[in-house]
Amino acid sequence: MEQNPKTQRTWRYTWEAQSHSPNLRLFLFDSKTNPKIHCKSLNVSTIIGKSQLLVTWINEEDEGATSKEEIVSLLVPIPRVLLDTESPVNFKALDDHIEVRLVLLLPVDHPLVSDFNLVTDSREKSAPLVMGYDLKTLSLMGGVHFYCRSCSNRLTKKELLDFSEMPSINWRESADNWFGTCCCSFGGISEKMVVKYTNSYTCSSGLCLLSATTVLLSKDDLVECILSEKGGTEVEFESSLALSCDVGVVEPGSRISEGNAESHESGGENVCGQVDESKTRCIDKASLPGCCVHDSPDSNESVQLEEKKLTLDKKFLLDGFLEDVFMAKASNVSKNVEWIEFACPECSSPLGAYPSGVGSNGKPIDGGVRLFKCYISTSSTTGESSDVFRKYTLERMFTNQLVECSKEELSFHVLVKDLTTKSPLFNIVILNPNTFSSTGLCSSQDEPGSALELSAIVKVLFSDCNSSVVKKIDEEVYILKGQGEELIELITNASKFLPSSCSYLQGALVSSMHL
């Protein structure tokens, strides 16, 4: 018998563990071997001192009239976990992979297990994406420049000093819940607060507004920033998107939004002339005893004056149509707002997007550009510890938004559409948001290496929009086509980390995404 080391590196290992489960499962496979037939005398043992798993078998190959026996020996690194060394190692050979199960003393997500993880780099990669951390760190840096992550080109003209969190778009609802919806409640303070907050969080030079996935900057703070119409004509942002002096009347030629915006701008009437009671404050005062009977003229006039201060771009902001563009929900998409992709002036790599009107009003709406955190850095050298956004990737940003959207519901089905054309891109179903995994290629030699770490992933089902397996849709989200195509490639490639027998479920592709 002889050993052929040339074929050993074609074997892939994938470790998987579930939250709150004291078990660790290994999938060991290559593209040619049928372990059930070819792996004779299979044996699996642990080498605790080296954190390795030794897998051996005898592979028999027929060569004409003679048969050739080959000893196969694989070393698989064991992740940093707390193994129960007294429990037996369970393993079996299946048609397209070898499966090994190890028993753990504690689940991989147990706090005590996290304390054993002393590898700083691994902790850094698996650290959650927290906007509060970004805001605090940027504010303490004194002055910040933003750079293109692809070519390290500096994007900002001068250092930025003023950072603020982009607040929730549900200002009106929150104010109404706190102060009441009546026009005379606290002198109409609800509407006054909405107007005040909207004015405070509008794109302006020198101010950097942060959301979970984007950085909003004024075009005046960016180098070589030219915001163009859809046709490519260079235009300057016009801030004169003002409403007329008559409450609810839009000046001729100005843009109007759909849904809520139409209702706000028409004094509570929709396009059919019917009253939208959810947007009209106390229409029939006599029929609402104790509400507006004690109406104050000064109060109403004050509210109307505050509303007239809202330019149309601020109404778009208030109605949620200028919200986080990285992954927009259906309620935050307007037919009157088109998102145009913004690229690096040096290398043309995608950086983000900016809102523009449509049709004859196809001009930039607020003069601001939303830069995606996964495409920019705060250091000229990508990946340095001083780069605040080093943990952000397209995959992690999308996965975090997906889990937040689903509220960790299992079998949550999301239809992803193109933000520009509104055409479907792909379907994705969350199978398990609490999975941990690690993958790599096996070695036939005792090679030194860094400790293997399990990463948090979300198990998903992926299918194109032509699939017939789709039965229900829980949520529709919209992303830019370029990011959608990149995500499709990432999800498809991740499915190759499992053997083919484990890669399909109910006609859809089983894959994973890093959290």
Helix (H) / strand (E) element for 351: namely: strand 350-356
Q: Name the DSSP class of 279.
A: T
Region of poorest pLDDT, from 47-56, 250-259, 381-390:
250-259
User: Which region holds residue 165: left if phi is over 0, alpha if psi is between -120 and 50, else beta?
Assistant: beta
**Which residue's structure tokens are 């005040």?**
196
pTM: 0.78
Distance CA 139, CA 150 (A): 25
Maximum Cα–Cα distance across the chain: 105
Distances (CA, A) of 324 to 349, 421, 472, 498: 20, 18, 26, 34
What is the percent of the chain with per-residue pLDDT over 70, rounded to a whole number? 66
**Confidence label for 16 from pLDDT (cuts 50, 70 and 90):** very high
Q: Which pairs count as long-range contacts for 498-501, CB under 8 Å and 24+ apart, including other chains?
A: 498/14, 498/27, 499/27, 499/29, 499/94, 499/96, 499/97, 500/96, 501/94, 501/95, 501/96, 501/97
Give the range among 62-76, 201-215, 416-430 with minimum mean pLDDT.
Answer: 62-76
Work out the pLDDT band at 272, boundaries 50, 70, 90.
very low
Helix pair 394-406, 481-494: axis angle to 10 deg:
90
DSSP letter at 444 equals S
Coil vs helix vs strand at 14:
strand
Give me the numbers of helices (H) and strands (E) for the chain, helices first please. Answer: 11, 22
- The overall average pLDDT reported for the chain is 77
